[in-house]
Structure 1
Amino acid sequence: MSKKIYFKAIPFNKELVTLALESGVDGIIVRGGEESQVLALGRIQVLKEEDLLLIPIKSKQDEDEVIKKCSLGKLVVLPEDTEIIPVENILARTQEVGMEVSSLEKAKTALGILEVGVGFLVVTSRGAKDLKEIVKVSKLKQGKVELQPATIKNIKNIGLGHRVCVDTVSLLSTGQGMLVGNSSKFTFLIHAETEANPYVAPRPFRVNAGGVHSYTFLPQDKTCYLEELEPGKEVLIVNNQGETEIAVVGRVKTEIRPLLLLEAEVDGLQGSVIIQNAETIRLVDAKGKPVSVVQLKEGDKVLCHVDEAGRHFGMRIKEEIIEK
């Protein structure tokens, strides 16, 4: 889950505030009266030092005080030197508490406690050198999903239909793409257009994802239909190792194109996806390599994600849902 990152610019330093803005932090913390100096540099949330409560943890009573203040909607921050066990005790009761950090390693530790991590980070000026990496780790990286090789059972031309190209504002790499399928329970890794082609230049920001009705994954274990995507919306990018990150949609192109129905099976479970019939459309084979749909045949294996949960308005639910 994406975490908010605040940079503590105390004492105020124009160069470090500029670095923080360029790094993509959510807010800047300054002393009262210095807010206008930040806003002169960019549009961003500005907090005064007194807007946050820094509570050292020395006893069980301090833990209870943190919980109480969080329940009242206060921005509570733990000092960087807080021991792990008290932080675990607090996170078991609330995930709204933040923590000061001054390095990438400290940030990773804070974000990994009890696997859920603290609710937000306050990066001190000593951590400015790692700020860009801290933002990347906390906001873009989204953990892993399990990918399995599925055996293709059928490939069929189904005529014309509306398909969706998702143009992100990120430059994707070989091995990366989006999970897309006719059912959210069985999705295929559709590869980004990163590969060279004799006819068309690479478009590494693009995933030619499939039919408008198809499911794809969003951050925080949500799904949506491709037709629902729009500029500014976040989508989940997955690589051939199952590692995930967030990308923001910059443009969505929906056009009528010839389509293919691809059906596959893994461990007795069957799934399908509808994609454009074009050489530039690639899935990912069992070795993690992109493979064009025009080269695929029955018996080949491609990477898929199988999920037992049903979905209601994109949210995971436990309910018997039959999709064909």
Structure 2
Amino acid sequence: MKSVWFSALPFDKTLVTLALESGVDAIVTDAAHADDVRALGRVEVLTPEDVIYVTLNSKADEDTAIAALKSGGKSVLKLGWEIIPVENILAQSEGLGVEVASADQARLAAGILERGVDVVVVLPEAATELKKIVADVKLSQGCARLAKAVVTAIKPAGLGHRVCVDTMSMFKKGQGMLIGNSSAFTFLVHAETESNPYVAARPFRVNAGAVHAYAIMPGDKTNYLEELSSGDEVLVVGADGATSLATIGRVKVEVRPMLQITARCGDAEGTVFLQNAETIRLTRPGGEPVSVVSLKEGDEILCSTDQAGRHFGMRICEEIKEG
């Protein structure tokens, strides 16, 4: 997980408050104001003495940053860094931070060598973009590969324990979670963003499916739905493939009537068990939610296909067949 720090040098209470409200991981300020920051919120407070700042002017400066990181220190490149030297440092070490003065610079730093720097240090001149920077750097998880799949079967599956994932975030139309009986074929289960005459919308919730199902998680991992709990971070996926993070506030497991839905994408076929109720929806290719009650064979929905093979949620190279 990448970190965002705010550089409160010089100290400015208004900007520090904004930084805390934006969700930064640490505040860098002078030692004289460290306790003032701690009084405003529970956050890591660093002083310039805790950080090794490096201005990149030569190859020797790259070596200085690398040595600091390998010795366990916190190394931050001063504003004015360029991509090639940063790539050289990233290739040889972990934990690098860079100063940024805009959201564009933050996005650039977070994507260098696809992996990106580990720490983005936002300077005061970028304070107006701080919330966007935090969202882009900390929440964005890249792009999920979604494809159209055709529904081939829908049938009652009796009673089962289903899992509602209630997050601390508000989903938008077109967003949900990737859920399936196999990690190699998951369905974009839409969040409960839509109202109907009988039930109000629950835009913080994904009624995700049966307890045994896989959920695609951040960091290219999976969890069984039954394993999820309060405080866990889950992967939010939009119909356009954009992903972000949400933190679980509560998980509800209850016995409900279930449907088994089967779909085909190319040569791949997958299934998912979802509650038999109008409020549970999959996602059409255009981002429109479609209720499982009105879903028909031949309908197109969004799914994600992948190589099979997971062990404790981690990707492995092994011949595995899941049905």
Shift of 1:309: 4.2
Tell me if structure 2 keeps the 8 A contact 1:237–1:244: yes
Counterpart of 1:299, as a letter, is: G
Number of corresponding residues: 323
Match of 2:54 in 1: 55
The equivalences for 1:260-299 within 5 A come to: 260-299=259-298
Shift of 1:287: 2.8
Tell me if structure 2 keeps the 8 A contact 1:238–1:244: yes
The equivalences for 1:57-96 within 5 A come to: 57-96=56-95
Match of 1:252 in 2: 251
Instruction: Measure, in 2, the Cα distance between the counterparts of 1:42 and 1:228.
Output: 31
Counterpart of 1:212, as a letter, is: V
Tell me if structure 2 keeps the 8 A contact 1:95–1:117: no
Counting aligned pairs with the same residue, the percent is: 56
Instruction: Measure, in 2, the Cα distance between the counterparts of 1:63 and 1:309.
Output: 41
Secondary structure of residue in 1 paired with 2:80: coil
Instruction: Measure, in 2, the Cα distance between the counterparts of 1:109 and 1:285.
Output: 32
Shift of 1:286: 2.7
Which runs of 5 or more residues in structure 1 are unaligned? none
Secondary structure of residue in 2 paired with 1:143: coil
Match of 2:111 in 1: 112
TM-score (norm 2): 0.98
Instruction: Measure, in 1, the Cα distance between the counterparts of 2:44 and 2:141.
Output: 24
TM-score (norm 1): 0.97
Counterpart of 1:3, as a letter, is: K
Shift of 1:231: 1.0
Counterpart of 2:132, as a letter, is: E
Instruction: Measure, in 1, the Cα distance between the counterparts of 2:70 and 2:314.
Output: 26
Counterpart of 1:242, as a letter, is: G
Instruction: Measure, in 1, the Cα distance between the counterparts of 2:61 and 2:43.
Output: 32
Counterpart of 1:69, as a letter, is: A
Shift of 1:94: 2.3
- List structure 1 segments (4+ residues) > 6 angstroms apart after TM superposition: none
Secondary structure of residue in 1 paired with 2:19: helix
Which runs of 5 or more residues in structure 2 are unaligned? none
Tell me if structure 1 keeps the 8 A contact 2:147–2:302: yes
Secondary structure of residue in 2 paired with 1:33: helix
Shift of 1:19: 0.6
The equivalences for 1:158-237 within 5 A come to: 158-237=157-236
Instruction: Measure, in 1, the Cα distance between the counterparts of 2:245 and 2:111.
Output: 18
Counterpart of 2:102, as a letter, is: S
Tell me if structure 1 keeps the 8 A contact 2:211–2:225: yes
Question: Over residues 1-41 of structure 1, what are the superposed CA-to-partner deviations in whole Å (9 max), with x where a residue is unaligned?
Answer: x3101111111111111111100000111112321111111
Match of 1:316 in 2: 315
Counterpart of 1:176, as a letter, is: Q
Match of 1:307 in 2: 306
Instruction: Measure, in 1, the Cα distance between the counterparts of 2:40 and 2:298.
Output: 57
Which deviates further from its counterpart, 88-97 or 35-44? 88-97
Match of 1:121 in 2: 120
Call closer, same or farther: CA 1:100–1:309 in 2, change over 3 Å: farther
Shift of 1:63: 1.3
